[in-house]
Amino acid sequence: MKAWYCIPSARPVAEVIPIVAAWKERGYGVALQRDLPGGRIPGADVVFVRQYLGYAESVNFLSSYVLAELPEVDWIVTGGDDTFPDPN
């Protein structure tokens, strides 16, 4: 089973890196959407730089991409760019 964390993110890169790292440590793939130049976030598997059209549109875009391109994915988890996974 493979799960991915798919979220839009507008926080500064330094604030997003620990969030991405925490999800990766728990075995999740991470897909982000950024609308800022220099969109690369270390540790993220996929980063799209594109216009932000709202949370639902961003999550749907990322989820559709992940499910279409990675057939082994069973679950998509969403949240925010300030949400750490439950440690338990």
Is 5:18 a contact under the CB 8 Å cutoff? no
Give the chain's mean pLDDT: 93
**Helix/strand/coil (H/E/C) assignment for every residue in 21-49:** HHHHHCCCEEEEEECCCCCCCCCCCEEEE
pLDDT at 39: 65
Q: Tell me: the pLDDT tens digits for 25-62?
A: 999 999 999 988 766 789 999 999 999 999 999 999 99
Q: What are the tokens at 40? A: 């690369």
Q: What are the tokens at 84? A: 């750490």
Confidence of residue 88 (pLDDT cuts 50, 70, 90): confident
DSSP-derived 3-state class of residue 72 = coil
